[in-house]
């Protein structure tokens, strides 16, 4: 959006600058040419002015010569009326001087010269008339000398003419310069206007290209949107304020059996699908969506099609504005959830049945736990009697007991001791499934270290008469702290590590490894590996059952409840356990513990 705003703003400024440039290129040269035209006219006027001055000066000089020549002729006694008329040209000379004064009205220096000429001419004309009237030759000669030498006007006229010629030369030079400037401005303006025209044509072509590309992109986007709309398998329809169909997709047509899509546009919704939309309630809800802006979410509507089958339709509708008008429409999607509804009802029925089965299993487990607890406690009394009376019988016989009698008593004592161990393990197993869990932060490193120390002390206590202790190497990697029941975790590690110690008794150098790693989902996976007797994986299914053993009790003593207890602990914590092994190649037990729930107590 920011990029589009920047482009639009740049276009506006660009066109504004282009308009300003066009204005400057058109107006400024026009004003310049207008000024140059005025200057050219002025220059032409000044040239005409100078020519008029020259003409009047010529007329003035001619008139002066006519008056003076007429006076000289008359002074010699030649009488002629034309000569008398030429002598009267003084008035015309005065008019010529007035015309020159008018032409020089803006030039004080020339006016001063005209004044001087006027004064001299007045006196000179008087002398000329006196010459014409005098009959004395001597006096005529003196007056002619006075007229010629006392009142010379030729130099003043020449000076006036020269000054005017200089002005004319300057004005002609200025006129030529103005003409060259006008020509330069004209051609420059033409070049710039052609450049501007080319720029305008380029911008128009670019704008037309951009508009064409935008229209093509719009058409492609519209085609893509329509393709997506028609490809979506969920029925979609667009309704106007009168609940008439504006637009729909193929899925909607297929759902309600509309063959000719061209005849659907503009039809009322209630006329579609054999009246399945004639329900006043659904029409009112759709009207509320448009008028009040209420969205319709997952509204279930029962519809019966032309085949007579009742279907459950899930309707969603919301108000939306149209991009090409100010009207608002209703966008409605329809989903046939009949099958999902049936499946949901079936799942609910199965859940109810499962809840009943779970309750039955819970009741059975409670009865089994009660039975196990009762048996474990009730067996202790007769077992104590058997062990006690067997011991008393041995002391009673004393030295009188033969070898077979002592063997029988030993077998009875060992059987009673093994039975006591079984009862103890069974009590522990029962307690693991019945007691409440106390979740807290448990340091697995510390638990493994404590168990390791306890097993080492047991190994030292079991050393033979020669005091030789079994060679067991422990490899314990860093272990995490997690939330669990500490007593149950202690029992778990005691069983797993105790099994590793027990089933490596056949090795001169036993190696027991403990490691842990975190899985991507946060689950912690632990592994206990040993190099002991191992087992056949074909019998791995029996490994975690109660009283299940894969080795003879004479080779590896035990009750067969330890791994079952481990599985029960992990089941209560939401984890699991499995094993990998091979005969005489050791075994590896893996178990997982999930991450704590958000409401777990730390």
Q: Residue 347 CA to chain centroid, in angstroms?
A: 43
**Domains assigned to the chain:** 2-195 (1.20.120), 233-336 (3.30.450.20), 345-435 (1.10.287.130), 436-602 (3.30.565.10)
pLDDT for the residue numbered 90: 62
| Alpha-carbon span 69 to 472, nearest angstrom | 163
- Radius of gyration (C-alpha) of the chain in whole angstroms: 66
Task: Determine how many CB atoms are found less than 10 A away from the CB of residue 163.
Answer: 16
CB burial class (10 A; 0-12, 13-18, 19+) of residue 513? Answer: middle
To which residue do tokens 């008329």 refer?
Answer: 85
pLDDT category of residue 238 using cuts at 50, 70 and 90: confident
pLDDT for the residue numbered 449: 92
| Alpha-carbon span 393 to 385, nearest angstrom | 12
Most confident stretch, 89-98, 398-407, 429-438, 458-467: 398-407
- 213 φ, ψ to 5°? -65, -40
Token code pair at residue 580: 């990998």
What is the secondary structure of 213-252 as a DSSP string? HHHHHHHHHHHHHHHHHHH-SS-EEEE-TTSBEEEE-HHH
pLDDT for the residue numbered 272: 79
| Alpha-carbon span 509 to 284, nearest angstrom | 85
Of 9-18, 396-405, 543-552, where does mean pLDDT reach its minimum?
A: 543-552
Give 300-345 pLDDT, tens digit per residue: 888 876 566 778 888 888 888 877 666 788 888 888 888 888 888 8
What is the secondary structure of 291-335 as a DSSP string? HH---EEEEEEEEE-TTS-EEEEEEEEEEEE-TTSS-EEEEEEEE
Across the beta sheet with 245-248, what order do the strands follow?
A: 245-248, 236-239, 328-336, 310-321, 296-304
Most confident stretch, 36-50, 168-182, 541-555, 579-593: 579-593
pLDDT for the residue numbered 119: 72
Cα of first residue to Cα of last residue in the chain, in angstroms, is 50
- Alpha helices of 76-153 — where are they, by DSSP H? 81-87, 90-103, 108-133, 137-145
Instruction: List, in order, residues 6 or more apart from 344 with CB less than 8 Å away.
Output: none
- 363 φ, ψ to 5°? -65, -40
Give mean pLDDT, residues 485-501: 87
CB burial class (10 A; 0-12, 13-18, 19+) of residue 466? Answer: exposed
Residue 142 has pLDDT above 60, yes or no: yes
Across the beta sheet with 509-518, what order do the strands follow?
A: 471-476, 509-518, 524-530, 587-593, 576-581
| Alpha-carbon span 94 to 89, nearest angstrom | 9
Whether this model's pTM surpasses 0.75:
no
Strand bridging mode 328-336 / 471-476: unpaired
Token code pair at residue 513: 């490894």
pLDDT for the residue numbered 597: 62
pLDDT category of residue 12 using cuts at 50, 70 and 90: low
- Report which DSSP code applies to 260: -
Token code pair at residue 34: 């207008």
The proportion of the chain whose per-residue pLDDT surpasses 70, expressed as a percent, equals 71
Instruction: List, in order, residues 6 or more apart from 357 with CB less than 8 Å away.
Output: none
Mean confidence (pLDDT) of the chain: 76
- 321 φ, ψ to 5°? -80, 150
Determine contact, residues 326/313, Cβ cutoff 8 Å.
no
| Alpha-carbon span 108 to 100, nearest angstrom | 12
Angle at 256 between CA 251 and CA 257, to 5 degrees: 95
pLDDT for the residue numbered 339: 84
More confident residue, 299 or 127: 299
Angle at 27 between CA 24 and CA 32, to 5 degrees: 105
Most confident stretch, 28-42, 228-242, 477-491: 477-491
The proportion of the chain whose per-residue pLDDT surpasses 90, expressed as a percent, equals 7
pLDDT category of residue 376 using cuts at 50, 70 and 90: low
Determine contact, residues 524/482, Cβ cutoff 8 Å.
yes
| Alpha-carbon span 267 to 256, nearest angstrom | 14
- Report which DSSP code applies to 262: G
Token code pair at residue 526: 């632990």
């Amino acid at each position: 959006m920011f990029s589009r705003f920047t482009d639009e703003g740049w276009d506006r400024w660009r066109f504004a600058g282009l308009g300003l440039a066009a204005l400057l290129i058109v107006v400024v040269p026009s004003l310049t040419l207008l000024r140059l035209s005025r200057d050219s006219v002025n220059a032409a006027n000044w040239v005409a002015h100078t020519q008029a001055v020259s003409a009047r000066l010529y007329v003035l000089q001619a008139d002066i010569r006519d008056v003076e020549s007429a006076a000289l002729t008359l002074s010699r006694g030649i009488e002629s009326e034309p000569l008398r008329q030429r002598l009267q040209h003084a008035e015309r000379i005065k008019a010529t001087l007035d015309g020159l004064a008018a032409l020089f009205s803006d030039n004080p220096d020339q006016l001063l010269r005209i004044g001087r000429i006027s004064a001299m001419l007045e006196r000179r004309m008087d002398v000329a008339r006196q010459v014409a009237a005098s009959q004395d030759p001597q006096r005529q000669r003196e007056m002619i000398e006075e007229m010629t030498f006392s009142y010379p006007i030729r130099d003043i006229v020449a000076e006036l003419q020269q000054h005017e010629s200089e002005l004319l030369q300057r004005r002609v030079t200025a006129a030529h310069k103005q003409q060259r400037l006008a020509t330069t401005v004209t051609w420059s303006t033409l070049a710039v206007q052609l450049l501007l025209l080319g720029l305008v044509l380029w911008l128009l072509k670019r704008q037309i290209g951009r508009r064409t590309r935008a229209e093509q992109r719009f058409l492609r986007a519209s085609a893509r949107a329509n393709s997506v709309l028609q490809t979506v398998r969920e029925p979609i329809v667009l309704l106007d304020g009168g609940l008439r169909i504006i637009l729909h997709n193929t899925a909607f047509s297929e759902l309600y059996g509309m063959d000719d899509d061209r005849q659907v546009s503009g039809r009322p919704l209630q006329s579609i699908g054999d009246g399945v939309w004639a329900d006043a309630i659904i029409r009112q809800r759709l009207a509320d969506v448009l008028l009040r802006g209420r969205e319709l979410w997952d509204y279930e509507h029962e519809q019966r099609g032309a085949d007579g089958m009742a279907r459950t339709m899930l309707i969603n509708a919301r108000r939306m504005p149209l991009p090409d008008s100010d009207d608002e429409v209703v966008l409605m999607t329809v989903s046939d959830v009949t099958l999902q509804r049936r499946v949901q009802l079936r799942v609910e029925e199965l859940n109810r049945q499962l809840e009943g089965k779970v309750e039955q299993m819970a009741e059975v487990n409670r009865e089994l736990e009660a039975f196990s607890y009762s048996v474990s406690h009730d067996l202790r009394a007769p077992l104590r009697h058997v062990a006690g009376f067997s011991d008393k019988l041995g002391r009673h016989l004393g030295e009188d007991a033969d070898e077979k009698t002592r063997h029988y008593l030993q077998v009875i004592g060992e059987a009673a001791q093994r039975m006591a161990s079984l009862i103890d393990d069974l009590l522990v197993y029962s307690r693991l499934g019945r007691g409440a869990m106390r979740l807290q932060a448990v340091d697995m490193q510390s638990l493994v270290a404590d168990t390791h120390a306890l097993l080492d002390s047991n190994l030292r206590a079991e050393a033979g008469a020669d005091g030789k202790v079994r060679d067991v190497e422990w490899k314990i990697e860093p272990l995490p702290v997690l939330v669990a029941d500490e007593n149950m975790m202690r029992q778990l590690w005691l069983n797993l590590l105790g099994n590793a110690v027990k089933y490596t008794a056949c090795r001169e150098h036993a190696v027991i490894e403990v490691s842990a790693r975190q899985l991507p989902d946060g689950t912690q996976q632990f592994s206990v590996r040993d190099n002991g007797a191992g087992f056949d994986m074909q019998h791995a299914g029996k490994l975690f059952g109660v009283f299940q053993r894969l080795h003879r009790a004479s080779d590896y003593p035990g009750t067969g409840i330890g791994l079952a207890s481990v599985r029960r602990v992990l089941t209560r914590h939401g984890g699991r356990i499995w094993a990998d092994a091979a005969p005489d190649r050791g075994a590896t037990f893996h178990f997982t513990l999930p991450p704590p729930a958000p409401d777990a107590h730390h």
